[in-house]
């Protein structure tokens, strides 16, 4: 695969420009200077074979301990700068109405980008061949390579808007750039995972580590919407680094993980929201992607639970509502193959967070909330509360913000689901009995009654006011639910 993406790797030393023969092969500085000249081409023309041969000479001469200081520090910023310049030049050309049809010039510049990526692959390949190497000796590579991949990914992602009529003529070149950049970054992660060693007792290496982890999260976000496989693979790489180096990241910069965790939760929520309207084939594919993404989000949420920001928690609650909605969507479907999403473990993870209660109630006040999914989450939370003592859940039930109040209010929004009766949820059953499904109305009534049965007599006045509020609200389903609860109390 990689050989197909990087055909320039098979080079012939005699193909290099003849002037290279006049440079002393063991003179590292001369070789590095030549690389700088080749990479800084103002005409965006690159002799790729000569570039790779010269780079190979540098690697043969230079010891691993001197790699960053004598080679990478001098040539990688030049390569990065050249990429920035050529991408800027492409943007200027595609936005120039007078030169917008100059396809050959744009292809020429894309070929220059291609040559630069081949150069980066060669650098990465050399480092990956070591058994182990300290991050200090390849610091410039760790700093510059992710930024290079970002530029390529962002350029490819924006191309449908920026290239205009030139897009069809450059589609293959852009696709190749994206694939090659993805292959390089995949090798970079493999090298980080098995070859590059970060001495986290050294502050500069810890900073470099957090920067690399942050870059993986950023690049995964860019890849979302471009290529699902690349997006998931980079997201999984990000998660592995974040978990493997959790102690150092938590100490130095936990936000380098938390920010991307929030975005991944949003991405998973978005994917879940699209499933209902997809055909069976797309549903299966999308759900498999969501399952992999959910594993990442769940793992990072568990590992970094004490560092979750309030905004991140809101994103996780939104995801939890989507998971509950999808879980019960599966129970409603008949026939075709479905893939289950177990929402309970994820709720267990976020429920114990100190700010979960406040975030849950605030999330419900949003105007864009899916009322059905939020109500399904409410039912799940009430079931969890029923497993606790009254002292633990009294503030949930009868506090200023009351989950009982939420349940009574939101049942009114679900009139369509109640009347049609297609939505089925797991119902109560005795030990030894077969599991059964029940309506959403019953699934709401039962946990409410369970919670109320634990309320002591001295707190009953507050409950009475709540029940009267909804009984006399003029909303049919809220009033009916309150009436049924009164009947339950009367039988107790």
Give tens-digit pLDDT for 194-217.
Answer: 999 999 899 999 999 999 999 999
Q: How many other β-carbons are positioned within 10 Å of the β-carbon of residue 413?
A: 17
Structural domain span for residue 117: 26-94+101-197
Give a yes or no: residue 430 inside a domain: yes
Q: Is the pLDDT of residue 178 over 90?
A: yes
d(CA 89, CA 101): 15
- Percent of the chain residues past pLDDT 70, beyond the cut: 88
Q: Is the pLDDT of residue 13 over 50?
A: no
Q: How many CA atoms lie within 13 A of 217 on its CB side?
A: 25
What is the average pLDDT across 155-160? 96
Give a yes or no: residue 264 inside a domain: no
pLDDT tens for residues 399-411? 889 999 999 999 9
Give a yes or no: residue 83 inside a domain: yes
Supply the pLDDT for residue 321: 96
Query: At which of 168, 197, 226 does a domain end?
Result: 197
Give a yes or no: residue 315 inside a domain: no
d(CA 404, CA 467): 9
Residue with token string 């109320």: 452
Q: Is the pLDDT of residue 335 over 50?
A: no
Give a yes or no: residue 140 inside a domain: yes
Query: At which of 151, 174, 197 does a domain end?
Result: 197
Longest CA pairwise span in the chain (Å): 102
Supply the pLDDT for residue 54: 96
d(CA 173, CA 286): 28
pLDDT category at 277 given cuts 50, 70, 90 is low
Give a yes or no: residue 227 inside a domain: no
d(CA 142, CA 135): 8
d(CA 67, CA 78): 16
pLDDT tens for residues 223-238? 999 999 999 999 999 9
| 37-51, 133-147, 338-352, 459-473: least confidently modelled range | 338-352
Give a yes or no: residue 360 inside a domain: no
Mean model confidence pLDDT for the chain: 89
What is the average pLDDT across 289-318? 95
Alpha carbon distances (Å) from 30 to 55, 200, 325: 11, 35, 64
Query: At which of 145, 170, 197 does a domain end?
Result: 197
Structurally, how many domains does the chain consist of? 2
Give a yes or no: residue 58 inside a domain: yes
């Amino acid at each position: 695969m990689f050989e197909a993406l990087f055909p320039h790797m098979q080079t012939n030393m005699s193909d290099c420009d003849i002037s290279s023969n006049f440079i002393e092969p063991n003179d590292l500085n001369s070789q590095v200077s030549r690389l700088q000249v080749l990479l800084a081409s103002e005409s965006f023309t690159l002799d790729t074979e000569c570039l790779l041969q010269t780079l190979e000479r540098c690697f043969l001469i230079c010891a691993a301990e001197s790699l960053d200081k004598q080679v990478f520090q001098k040539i990688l910023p030049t390569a990065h700068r050249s990429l920035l310049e050529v991408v800027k030049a492409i943007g200027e050309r595609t936005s120039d109405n007078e030169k917008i049809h100059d396809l050959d010039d744009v292809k020429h510049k894309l070929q220059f980008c291609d040559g630069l990526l081949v150069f980066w692959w060669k650098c990465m390949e050399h480092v990956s061949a070591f058994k182990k190497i300290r991050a200090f000796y390849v610091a410039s590579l760790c700093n510059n390579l992710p930024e290079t991949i970002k530029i390529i990914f962002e350029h490819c992602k924006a191309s449908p808007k920026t290239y205009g009529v030139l897009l069809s003529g450059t589609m293959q070149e852009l696709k190749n750039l994206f694939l090659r950049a993805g292959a390089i970054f995949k090798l970079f992660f493999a090298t980080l995972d098995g070859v590059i060693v970060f001495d986290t007792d050294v502050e500069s290496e810890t900073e470099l580590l957090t920067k690399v982890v942050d870059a993986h999260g950023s690049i995964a976000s860019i890849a979302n919407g471009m290529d699902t496989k690349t997006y998931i693979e980079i997201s999984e790489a990000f998660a592995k680094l974040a978990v493997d180096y959790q102690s150092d990241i938590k100490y130095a910069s936990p936000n380098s993980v938390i920010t991307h965790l929030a975005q991944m939760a949003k991405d998973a929520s978005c994917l879940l929201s699209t499933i209902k309207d997809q055909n069976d084939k797309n549903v299966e594919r999308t759900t498999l992607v969501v399952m992999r993404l959910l594993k990442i989000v769940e793992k990072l949420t568990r590992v970094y639970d004490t560092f979750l920001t309030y905004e991140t928690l809101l994103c996780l609650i939104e995801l939890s509502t989507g998971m509950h909605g999808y879980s019960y969507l599966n129970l409603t479907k008949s026939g075709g193959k479905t893939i289950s999403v177990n929402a309970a473990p994820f709720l267990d993870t976020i429920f114990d967070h100190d700010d979960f209660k406040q975030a849950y109630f605030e999330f419900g006040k949003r105007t864009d909330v899916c009322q059905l999914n939020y109500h399904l989450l409410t039912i799940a939370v009430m079931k969890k509360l029923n497993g606790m003592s009254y002292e633990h859940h009294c503030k949930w039930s009868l506090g200023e913000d009351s989950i009982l109040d939420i349940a009574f209010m939101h049942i009114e929004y679900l009139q369509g689901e109640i009347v049609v009766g297609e939505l089925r949820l797991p119902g109560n059953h005795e030990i030894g009995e077969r599991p059964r499904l029940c309506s959403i109305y019953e699934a709401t009534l039962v946990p409410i009654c369970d919670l109320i049965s634990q309320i002591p007599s001295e707190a009953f006045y507050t409950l009475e006011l709540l029940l009267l509020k909804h009984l006399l609200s003029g909303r049919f389903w809220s009033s009916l639910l309150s009436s049924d609860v009164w009947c339950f109390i009367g039988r107790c």
